Amino acid sequence: MSRLPDSLLDDCRCDPAAPFAQDPARDFGLDKQTAKLALAELRPWLNQQQRMLWANRRNALLLILQGTDCSGKDGVIRRVISSFDPQGLRIHSFQKPDACEQRHDFLWRYQRRLPGLGLLGVFNRSYYEGLISDPLDGLCSAAELPARQQATQAFEAQLLSQSIQPLKCFLQLSQDEQKHRLQERLEQPHKRWKLHSSDLQSYREFDLRQQRWAEQLTASHSDAAPWYVIPADHRWLRDWLVASLLARELERLQLNWPNTPPPFSLEDLQRP
């Protein structure tokens, strides 16, 4: 297996005192070709572990991908997750709440999409959007945020009590790189479909959103459910880091194929 070492993964563990202090363009002295080969070697092992997770059905993992627009949440899903066994995989992307979702509590749409035991769930954006995007989009007031913060903490504690382990990754992108990727989408027709009018507002509010996310990462980081701040200016490194963190979580589960008695014997099979 070719995952990155613990020392490097732990370097991405959120520092609650300064979540975004490190350079999103750092590369740890690694290179693109090495990363792509390592990810290709790691993927079959991840696939087998995910199948064993599904076969045992004792635990669940929830990979949370947060980040600014263009930070690569879809790219991680496409290059790291998409080859997994779909029987044991649940991927959900959360955009601005629609009319139906707004009629419910803000956590309702996340609660109903949690992975059951044996599943690997992936949230492209997560319940933390209710504390960051919702107030910016006018869906809740500042006065509601303390109660929402408490509800979110209780929700995450509930995940752990249900044997659902969240793996929280914030894809940290520099504003210069975000601008570059938006320019790519404007200039390349096959990428233009990804653009939304809100992307321009998000770019213009970069500093404000970074500040609010930094406050949220500080408030919601814990030993039981830590945040990892992934340098995302290099797509190849971002993917290898997330894959390696996922591999480490699967290692901790010490998975094997279940040793359950078969429902019938070879002799039964031979009988007419």
Taking each helix axis as running N to C, give the angle between helix 206-220 and helix 129-136, from 0 to 180 degrees, rounded to the nearest 10.
Answer: 150
What token pair was written down for 182? Answer: 């938006």
224, 163 contact by CB (below 8 A): no
What pLDDT does 61 receive? Answer: 98
> Could you report how far apart the first and last alpha carbons of the chain are, in Å?
45
pLDDT band of 198, cuts 50, 70, 90: confident
Model pTM? 0.95
What's the average model confidence in pLDDT over 50-72? 96
Model pLDDT for residues 215-259, shown as the tens digit of each residue: 999 999 999 999 999 999 999 999 999 999 999 999 999 999 999
When the pLDDT of each residue in the chain is averaged and rounded to a whole number, the result is 95
**In the predicted structure, residue 167 carries a pLDDT above the cut 80:** yes
What's the average model confidence in pLDDT over 143-155? 97
53, 115 contact by CB (below 8 A): no
What's the average model confidence in pLDDT over 24-37? 97
Model pLDDT for residues 86-145, shown as the tens digit of each residue: 999 999 999 999 999 999 999 999 999 999 999 999 999 999 999 999 999 999 999 999
What does each C-alpha distance from 214 to 85, 150, 210, 239, 259 come to in angstroms?
Answer: 35, 18, 6, 22, 45
pLDDT band of 175, cuts 50, 70, 90: very high
What does each C-alpha distance from 176 to 150, 172, 233 come to in angstroms?
Answer: 35, 12, 9
pLDDT band of 197, cuts 50, 70, 90: confident
21, 80 contact by CB (below 8 A): no
**In the predicted structure, residue 80 carries a pLDDT above the cut 70:** yes
What's the average model confidence in pLDDT over 163-175? 97
Q: Could you tell me which residue, 202 or 40, shows the higher pLDDT?
A: 40
Could you please state the CATH topology (level 3) that the domain comprising 6-173+211-255 is classified under: Rossmann fold (3.40.50)
What gap in Å lies between CA 207 and CA 212, rounded to an integer?
9
What gap in Å lies between CA 121 and CA 158, rounded to an integer?
16
**In the predicted structure, residue 14 carries a pLDDT above the cut 90:** yes
What's the average model confidence in pLDDT over 167-181? 97
What pLDDT does 1 receive? Answer: 63
